Amino acid sequence: MIDLTETGFLARIATWATAGALRPLDLALTRFIRQQGPETDAAVLLAVALASERNGHGHVCLDLKAALDHPDELLTSPRDDGEAPDVDAHADLKAMLGGFDLADWLIRLRRSPAVSDRLTGGDDDGVSPLVLGGTDTQPLLYLRRYWQYETRIVAGIEARLRQSFVLPEADLRAQLDALFAPGEDHSGWQRIACALAARSAFAIVTGGPGTGKTTTVVRLLALLQGLAIAGGQPPLRIRLAAPTGKAAARLNESIADRIASLPLDGPHGEQVRSQIPTEVATLHRLLGARPDSRHFRHHAGHPLPVDLVVVDEASMVDVEMMASLLEALRPDARLILLGDKDQLASVEAGAVLGDLCRRARAAHYLPTTRDWLQRATGASVPDIFIDSAGGALDQSIAMLRKSYRFKPEGGIGALAALVNEDLPGHQAVNRLDAVLQLFARQRQAAPDDLGRIAAIHLRDTQDPAFAALVKNGYRGYLTCMRDRDPGHVADQTTLDQWARDILKAQGQFQLLAALRQGPWGVEGLNRQIVAILSRAKLLDLRPDPEQSGFERHWFAGRPVLVTRNDYSLGLMNGDIGITLAVPVRQRDGQMRRVLRVAFPAGDGSGGIRWILPSRLQSVDTVFAMTVHKSQGSEFTHAALILPDTPNPVLTRELIYTGITRARQAFTLVYRESSVLGEALERRVRRASGICLTSPAA
């Protein structure tokens, strides 16, 4: 038994919090549980602290067996400035965990009134702060709120997997043939995705960059509306959503472009086209977020009035939001998730899309599914994707496997595949060498090759090569801002067009970073980039004597990222705006330049919203942004800068996500190749029970 005296267990974990290995929240929760039950076993208190600590790192629960087997993976510092976790905390933890085995730990947890044992199917009192779940071989300890989220997600998906739609195969085949021109979908996976989703109440379409996820979903929506209208049914009520404002705006633009080019030549073609929605809402707006509350206007008692919801960039959706979404759907409403299963998981707890798609690469389609797909689509499914023991969830997931954007033999496509693929042990050891060799070969590529890649090896962030990258990258939009300035006599239409041009040019290049703090994090990089661009006369930082103290850290050309939803301004987390000096007539009739921040309207209209800087309370300068914040965005040229020392946040998923933000060019910036090597072999494995309890298991 671990010592529970004043100088014992709680005092020891207090030192962990001081060292940064635990959050103050983790320590406070542990103390609260102790106060509620002064006789609480220290093994239970340790589990509480670790479950809370894991939650802070995105895990839905504490995997008890993994904690005993790999204690070094616990107490990893949540700070991202390169500071290493405290070594003494790990030594303490190993000593504590060495005092009992898994069976003993489970016995102690089950004895505690703070723990509800759902593992053995016992009654749940509904109030205990901890829940024991998982399986006998992989027991999991949850904070109750996260157990409830996960339970609601699994229940909502399972209920939809039990539903199916009997589709007339001849009509389905005819509509697919009309939507896909002969030879257009050579691999057949887009047709397969449409067919599987059309017959399912829950479906996932996953795939890497350029595999046609948006193209597929537009044709799927046309297929669904076409089948409904041809069958004499009313059109489906469909809503489109995305996790962030930026992702919603991107989907909005993509959907609108593709709808116009749909081959809808049948008798109901234009009616079908008119029934495909183009408006994309953020999930918060769709569900009806309430200020200062976790609750939404739409829930089980007041569900969304829709037949189908489609969510893009679903890898960014955390367990709390996914649970809220499923709860807000009527039992007969359908849900389709789109996303890249291999991207970074959500910032908050959970990796829902990744958990659900763990078996997607091998498909696991039943022989009956293969036969139906052959009849309904004409596409053949290779034998390697057939599994007579496939689960219900497997039959509702389609993975798009062909990239139409990049050549597979080189550039961005080859780099993303090399980083992302699971390799045999002897090959995985050489992954770093293979990546560096690929960069070396690409030096011979033509400068205008689509998907080109490059690597820059820096001495430090003061290296002239870094300054050159930054100046070349951001010169375009800053020059556009200066050269296309409409002058003092511009009307609103002209000013809006100026802002549109600058925002478009700003999306040509983006520097991405893994960390927030330190010289290699976004805070230090943004300060340095401002200095570089100022010295190059691309930014004018001279203060206007008429500006207030608040406004003096604002300057024309400053790009800003919204970090919190602001419904009063119509701005969402992830929106990017540009600060511009615009002419405004003063009370004395004179024109004077004042700063305003221009944001895209975000509704597909091409409009511009002009916001006073003083009204923007939650924004960051965004010459450099974290890879996490870049999700849902794409840039013509993306550059990823790695820190000079290893860090737990550096993972294969982070590298892959950074690479796949690039549409035409990608640059890797690094100092130590060993840091890249460690990142390539570190995978994000967030603990959850979704993969244990889902029908695919």
Residue numbering of the annotated binding site for ATP? 207-214
**DSSP classification of residue 171:** H
- Pairwise CA distance, residues 378 & 374, whole Å: 5
The count of other CB atoms within 10 Å of the CB of residue 270 is 11
Vertex 179: Cα angle to 174 and 182 (nearest 5): 85
**DSSP classification of residue 72:** G
CA dihedral of residues 240, 666, 347, 649 (deg, nearest 10): 160
CA dihedral of residues 357, 360, 364, 366 (deg, nearest 10): 80
Q: List the one residue out of 166, 235, 252 whose CA is nearest residue 201.
A: 166
Long-range contacts, stretch 442-450, CB < 8 angstroms, 24+ apart: 442/410, 442/411, 445/410, 445/411, 449/411, 450/405, 450/406, 450/407, 450/411, 450/664
H or E segment and range at residue 244: none
Place of tokens 């992702």: 247
Tell me the C-alpha to C-alpha distance, in Å, between residue 590 and each of 117, 448, 555, 582. 73, 47, 21, 13
Tell me the C-alpha to C-alpha distance, in Å, between residue 355 and each of 342, 464, 690, 691. 10, 43, 6, 5
- Pairwise CA distance, residues 110 & 50, whole Å: 17
Q: What is the largest CA-CA distance in the chain?
A: 81
- Pairwise CA distance, residues 167 & 164, whole Å: 9
The count of other CB atoms within 10 Å of the CB of residue 559 is 23
311 φ, ψ (degrees, to nearest 5) = -115, 120
Give the pairing of strands 62-63 and 559-562. Answer: unpaired
Q: List the one residue out of 275, 274, 306 whose CA is nearest residue 288.
A: 306
Token duo for residue 196: 């599987």
- Pairwise CA distance, residues 373 & 393, whole Å: 16
**Binding site membership: which residues?**
207-214
Helix (H, G, I), strand (E, B), or coil: what is residue 513?
strand
Give the pairing of strands 591-600 and 608-611. Answer: antiparallel
Sheet with strand 576-585: strands edge to edge:
608-611, 591-600, 576-585, 559-562, 619-621
Within a 13 Å sphere around the CA of 526, how many CA atoms are in the beta-carbon half? 20
| Burial state string for 157-180 with b = 16 or more CB within 10 A and e = fewer than 16 | beebbeeeeebeeeebbebbebbb
- The strand pairing partners of 454, in sequence order, are 667
Total length of the chain: 697
Tell me the C-alpha to C-alpha distance, in Å, between residue 229 and each of 263, 269, 459. 17, 10, 63
